[in-house]
């Protein structure tokens, strides 16, 4: 579990610092400041981590009351490197920061572009400069001090936001000498630049789908822990996202898990891995919706990225009201040889969360389908593999070929039971 927790933390606990460049009517001045921060990942993303970052804030040396000046916060030294567990893709990191202003002027929000090179494991973190415009409302010296900041990291399976806050005192990053001018006073504007806000990947809430002609309803990624019994020691932990598309009175569901987060330790044949899942209904409706995905169409080479396919299904509402959708039991059928009976691996969700909320209207004959209990031919029973007959001997022999090996699925670790142990349970 420690390794899996590190995988989740690798996705979200990115310890960064900030600063930038700026222009104005007068020459811009920049000052660096180094301070400690504590970064808290979203729910399920691991423990808070403390680090030290160096930020550079750039602003004009002087200006007049009524001027609107550019302020930039840029990273000189990140609080940490990327972990050794996961590469961060290109243009996936977007920072947002808040600069404290002296003289009772509050704070200025600055936003960076979602623009970064690919960040390899153990490589220094890279994030864009955060920019904002400050409307000067009174004369005097105004200091600008970098403060808290958020870092949003987007993957194919969701966006995760880590929140970082200063620990202890922070020195000012820049000072603007504001003289009385003829310009009109105003208020401080925060973060009028592009970028906006991003969705956090937390386990709470989920996205609410409204009415009024909307057809596509994207969900939020939630961290889910699966207990697969002794077949998969340590279980599986991976982000899961449930998306819906309205079709008539029902919804087509698509469930996504982590994509290519790990490398396969051995070659896997085409058709080896076929996933399915129960989507649990809550709120106004009850039951579950079964979704399933195709097996891998191509062989997976040794050490190549391994992913579970997207799983799809249809939900027809049985009740009117707000209905929540949460990831529940995951089942993986493993077939290691053509014609062999699949080995059914049921994995119970021990922790989950709401990924999506829909405003539904009851349909005739609609309701959640019963939860899937999985194939009983080779399921888990009382902590051991179930009794099997001669007809699935080929599947058992195929499983023996990978006895003791590890198959990595997204953020998951699959360790199959050795053949001698299987024989002992028959």
Residues above pLDDT 90, as percent of the chain: 35
38 Cβ partners below 8 Å, 6+ apart? 48, 49, 50, 164, 165, 167
Task: Express each pLDDT in 217-252 by its tens digit.
Answer: 999 989 888 888 876 667 788 889 999 999 988 999
Higher pLDDT, 89 or 384: 89
- 146 against 404, higher pLDDT: 146
What's the mean pLDDT in 303-329? 91
Dihedral sign from CA coordinates of 85, 91, 96, 99 = positive
Residue 109, pLDDT above cutoff 90 = yes
pLDDT of residue 264: 62
The tokens for 194 are 């592009």
Q: Which of 1-10, 50-59, 363-372 has the lowest mean pLDDT?
A: 1-10
Compare 256 and 264 and report the one with higher pLDDT: 256
Asked if the model's pLDDT at residue 1 lies above 60, the reply is no
More confident residue, 326 or 8: 326
The answer to whether residue 410 scores a pLDDT higher than 50 is: no
Which tens digit of pLDDT belongs to each residue from 189-218?
443 333 333 333 333 344 444 445 688 999
387-413: average pLDDT: 36
Position 40 scores a pLDDT of 82
Min mean pLDDT across 16-30, 51-65, 79-93 is at 16-30
Residue 238 is predicted with a pLDDT of: 85
pLDDT of residue 319: 92
More confidently predicted of 388 and 153: 153
Domains parsed from the chain with CATH numbers: 2-179 (2.60.40), 207-425 (no CATH)
pLDDT at 44: 56
- Categorize the per-residue pLDDT at 266 as very low, low, confident or very high, splitting at 50, 70 and 90: low
Residues 113-142: tens digit of each pLDDT: 999 999 888 888 888 999 999 999 989 999
Q: Is the pLDDT of residue 392 over 60?
A: no
- Select the more confidently predicted residue: 320 or 43: 320
Q: Which residues contact 382 (CB under 8 A, 6 or more apart)?
A: none
pLDDT at 182: 53
Q: What is the 3-state secondary structure (H, E, C) of the chain?
A: CHHHHHHHHHHHCCCCCCECCCCCCCCEEEEEEEEEEEEECCCCCCCCEEEEEEEEEEEECEEECCCEEEEEEEEEECCCECCCCCCECCCCEEEEEEEEECCCCCEEEEEECCCCCCECCCCECCCCCEEEEEECCCCEEEEEEEEEEEEEEEECCEEEEEEEEEECCCCCCEEEEEECCCCCCCCCCCCCCCCCCCCCCCCCCCEEECCCCCCEECCCCEEEEEECHHHCCCCEEEEEEEEEEEECCEEEEEEECCCCCEECCCCECCCCEEEEEEEEEEECCCCEEEEECCCCCCCECCCCEECCCCEEEEECCCCCEEEEEEEEEEEEEECCCCCCCCEEEEEEEEECCCCEEEEECCCCCCCCECCCCCCCCCCEECCEECCCCHHHHHHHHHHHCCCCCEEEECCEEEECCCHHHHHHHC
| Confidence band, pLDDT 50/70/90 cuts, at residue 315 | very high
pTM, full prediction: 0.46
Say if residues 112 and 131 touch (Cβ distance below 8 Å): yes
Q: Measured between alpha carbons, how far is 342 from 407 in angstroms, rounded to an integer?
A: 16
Q: Is pLDDT of 13 > 80?
A: no
Averaged pLDDT for residues 91-105: 90
What is the model's pLDDT at position 350? 93
């Amino acid at each position: 579990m420690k390794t899996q927790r590190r995988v989740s933390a690798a996705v979200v606990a990115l310890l960064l610092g900030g600063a930038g460049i700026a222009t104005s009517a007068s020459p811009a001045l920049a000052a660096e400041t180094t301070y400690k921060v504590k970064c808290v990942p979203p729910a399920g993303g691991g423990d808070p981590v403390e680090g030290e970052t160096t930020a550079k804030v750039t602003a004009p040396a002087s200006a007049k009351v009524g001027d609107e000046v550019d302020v930039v916060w840029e990273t000189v030294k990140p609080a940490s490197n990327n972990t050794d567990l996961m590469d961060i893709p290109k243009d996936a990191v977007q920072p947002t920061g808040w600069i404290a202003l002296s003289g009772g002027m509050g704070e200025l929000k600055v936003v960076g572009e979602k623009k970064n090179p690919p960040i390899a494991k153990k490589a220094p973190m890279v994030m864009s400069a955060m920019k904002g415009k400050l409307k000067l409302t009174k004369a005097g010296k105004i200091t600008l001090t970098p403060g808290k900041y958020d870092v949003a990291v987007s993957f194919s399976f969701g966006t995760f936001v880590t929140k970082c806050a200063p620990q202890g005192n922070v020195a000012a990053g820049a000072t603007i000498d504001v003289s009385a001018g003829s310009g009109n006073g105003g208020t401080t504007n925060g973060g009028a630049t592009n970028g906006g806000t991003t969705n956090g990947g937390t386990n709470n809430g989920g996205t609410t789908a409204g009415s009024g002609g909307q057809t596509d309803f994207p969900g939020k990624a939630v961290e889910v822990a699966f207990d697969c019994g002794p077949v998969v020691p340590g279980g599986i932990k991976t982000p899961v996202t449930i998306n819906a598309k309205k079709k008539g009175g029902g919804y087509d569901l698509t469930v996504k898990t982590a994509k290519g987060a790990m490398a396969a330790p051995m070659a896997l044949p085409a058709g080896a891995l076929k996933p399915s899942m129960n989507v649990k209904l809550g709120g106004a409706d009850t039951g579950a919706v079964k979704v399933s995905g195709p097996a891998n169409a191509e062989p997976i080479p040794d050490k190549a990225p391994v992913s579970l396919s997207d799983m799809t299904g249809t939900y027809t509402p049985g009740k009117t009201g707000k209905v929540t959708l949460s990831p529940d039991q995951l089942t993986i059928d493993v077939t290691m040889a053509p014609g062999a009976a699949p080995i059914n691996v049921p994995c119970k969700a021990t922790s989950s969360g709401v990924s999506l909320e829909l405003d539904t209207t009851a349909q005739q004959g609609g309701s959640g389908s019963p939860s899937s209990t999985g194939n009983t031919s080779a399921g888990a029973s009382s902590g051991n593999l179930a009794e099997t007959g001669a007809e699935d001997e080929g599947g058992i022999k195929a499983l023996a070929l990978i006895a003791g090996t590890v198959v990595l699925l997204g953020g998951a670790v699959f360790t199959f039971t050795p053949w001698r142990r299987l024989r002992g349970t028959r």
